[in-house]
Structure 1
Amino acid sequence: MPNLQSLASEGVILNKSYGQPICSPSRAAYLTAFYPFRIGLQNSAIRNGVADYLPLNLTLLPQRLRELNYSTHLIGKWHLGHCRVDATPTYRGFDSFFGLYSSANDYYTKMTLPGATFALGRPPAYDLRLNLDVYNSSEEEYETDLFTQRAVNLIANHSTEIPLYISLQYTAPHVPLKVPDRFLDFYPNVTDENRRKYLAIVTSMDEGIGQVVQALKDKGMFDNTIIVFQSDNGGKEGTGGASNDPLRGEKKMLYEGGTRLPAMIYSKNLISNPGRVYEGLFHLVDWFPTLLSAVGVKDSGRGMDGVDQWPVLKTESGLDPRKVFIYNINGGDGALRFGRYKLTEGNPGGFLGRRRKRSVDGNMDTALDLETEDTARTLQNTDRAAQLDSERSRTKRSSQNETEELEDILASLNNTDLEMDLRKLFQTLNNVDLGVELDSAGGRKANMSAIDTEGIVAVLEKFGPNNVSTSSVCATCELYDLQADPVEAHDMAADYQLLVQFLYHIYSRFKTQEVDPVLKEPPVIIPQSNSSLYFNNTIGTGWCGGPPLPST
Structure 2
Amino acid sequence: MMKLSQRLMQAAFMVVISCSALGADKRPNIVVILADDLGYNDVGFTNGQTEIKTPRLDALANEGVVFENGYVTHPYCGPSRAGLITGRYQARFGMENNVTYSPDDKYMGLPLTEKTFPARLQEVGYKTAIFGKWHLGGAPHFQPNERGFDYFYGFLDGGHNYMPGEVHLGAGGYLLPIMRNKGVAEFDEYLTTALSRDAARYIERTSKEQAPFFIYMSYNAPHAPLQAPQNYLEKYAHIKDEKRRTYAAMVDAMDEGIGMLIDALDKSGELDNTLIFFLSDNGGLYPYSWWPDYTWADNSPFRFGKVALTEGGVHVPFIAHWPKKITKGKRLNGLVSALDIAATSLALAGANTKDAKLDGVDLTAYVTGKSKQSPHKALFWRMEEADNLWAVRTQTEKYLNQPLPDLGLAFFDMVKDPIEQHNIAGQRPKQEQQLAKLWNDWNKKNQRNVLLQNEAYEKRRDSFYEALYQENLQDAQKPQWYIK
TM-score (norm 2): 0.76
Deviation at 1:295, TM superposition (A): 3.3
Tell which deviates more after alignment, 499-508 or 31-40: 499-508
Q: Paired residue for 2:145?
A: 90
Q: Paired residue for 1:257?
A: 312
Residue 27 to residue 124, structure 1, CA distance change in 2 (3 Å): same
User: What is the rounded CA distance, in whole Å, between the counterparts of 2:427 and 2:134 in structure 1?
Assistant: 44
Q: Paired residue for 1:167?
A: 216
User: What is the rounded CA distance, in whole Å, between the counterparts of 1:136 and 1:187 in structure 2?
Assistant: 29
1:45 corresponds to 2:98 = yes
**Larger strand share, 1 or 2:** 2
Q: Paired residue for 2:178?
A: 128
Does the 8 A contact of 2:120 with 2:351 survive in 1?
no
Deviation at 1:306, TM superposition (A): 1.1
1:14 corresponds to 2:67 = yes
Cα deviation digits, residues 158-185 of structure 1 (max 9, x gap)? 2231111111111111111111111122
User: What is the rounded CA distance, in whole Å, between the counterparts of 1:76 and 1:252 in structure 2?
Assistant: 22
Cα deviation digits, residues 374-413 of structure 1 (max 9, x gap)? xxxxxxxxxxxxxxxxxxxxxxxxxxxxxxxxxxxxxxxx
Select 2:159's aligned residue among 97, 101, 104: 104
Report 1:332-371 matches (<5 A).
332-347=388-403
Q: Paired residue for 1:29?
A: 83
Aligned AA (2:68): N
Q: Paired residue for 2:472?
A: none
Report 1:107-506 matches (<5 A).
107-109=162-164, 113-114=168-169, 116-118=170-172, 123-138=173-188, 141-158=189-206, 159-238=208-287, 239=294, 241-271=296-326, 273-297=327-351, 299=353, 302-330=356-384, 331-347=387-403, 477-506=409-438
Residue 492 to residue 110, structure 1, CA distance change in 2 (3 Å): farther
User: What is the rounded CA distance, in whole Å, between the counterparts of 1:130 and 1:516 in structure 2?
Assistant: 34
Cα deviation digits, residues 486-527 of structure 1 (max 9, x gap)? 221111112112221222122222233331238789746387
Does the 8 A contact of 2:399 with 2:411 survive in 1?
yes
Does the 8 A contact of 2:124 with 2:350 survive in 1?
no
Does the 8 A contact of 1:17 with 1:281 survive in 2?
yes
Does the 8 A contact of 2:110 with 2:142 survive in 1?
yes
Q: Paired residue for 1:54?
A: 110
Q: Paired residue for 1:546?
A: none
User: What is the rounded CA distance, in whole Å, between the counterparts of 1:302 and 1:4 in structure 2?
Assistant: 32
Does the 8 A contact of 2:187 with 2:194 survive in 1?
no
Does the 8 A contact of 1:145 with 1:208 survive in 2?
yes
User: What is the rounded CA distance, in whole Å, between the counterparts of 1:307 and 1:300 in structure 2?
Assistant: 14
SS in 1 for 2:215: strand
Deviation at 1:137, TM superposition (A): 3.5
Aligned sequence identity (%)? 31
Deviation at 1:10, TM superposition (A): 0.5
User: What is the rounded CA distance, in whole Å, between the counterparts of 1:306 and 1:263 in structure 2?
Assistant: 15
Instruction: Let me know the Cα RMSD of the aligned residues.
Output: 2.5
Q: Paired residue for 1:525?
A: 461
Does the 8 A contact of 2:334 with 2:395 survive in 1?
no
Deviation at 1:338, TM superposition (A): 2.1
Aligned AA (1:249): F
Deviation at 1:126, TM superposition (A): 2.8
User: What is the rounded CA distance, in whole Å, between the counterparts of 2:440 and 2:214 in structure 1?
Assistant: 38
Deviation at 1:110, TM superposition (A): 7.3
User: What is the rounded CA distance, in whole Å, between the counterparts of 2:284 and 2:165 in structure 1?
Assistant: 22
Unaligned runs of 5+ in 2: 1-53, 288-293, 467-484
Q: Paired residue for 2:25?
A: none
Residue 189 to residue 320, structure 1, CA distance change in 2 (3 Å): same
Q: Paired residue for 2:443?
A: 511
Deviation at 1:131, TM superposition (A): 0.8
Residue 217 to residue 476, structure 1, CA distance change in 2 (3 Å): closer
User: What is the rounded CA distance, in whole Å, between the counterparts of 2:214 and 2:278 in structure 1?
Assistant: 14
Unaligned runs of 5+ in 1: 351-474, 530-552
Q: Paired residue for 2:55?
A: 2
Residue 128 to residue 482, structure 1, CA distance change in 2 (3 Å): same
Aligned AA (1:242): A
Q: Paired residue for 2:132?
A: 76
SS in 2 for 1:211: helix
Q: Paired residue for 1:385?
A: none
User: What is the rounded CA distance, in whole Å, between the counterparts of 2:58 and 2:427 in structure 1?
Assistant: 41
Cα deviation digits, residues 117-145 of structure 1 (max 9, x gap)? 22xxxx3413311111111345xx21111
Aligned AA (2:61): A
SS in 2 for 1:525: helix
Q: Paired residue for 2:122?
A: 66
User: What is the rounded CA distance, in whole Å, between the counterparts of 1:113 and 1:286 in structure 2?
Assistant: 34
Residue 110 to residue 47, structure 1, CA distance change in 2 (3 Å): farther
User: What is the rounded CA distance, in whole Å, between the counterparts of 2:349 and 2:452 in structure 1?
Assistant: 43
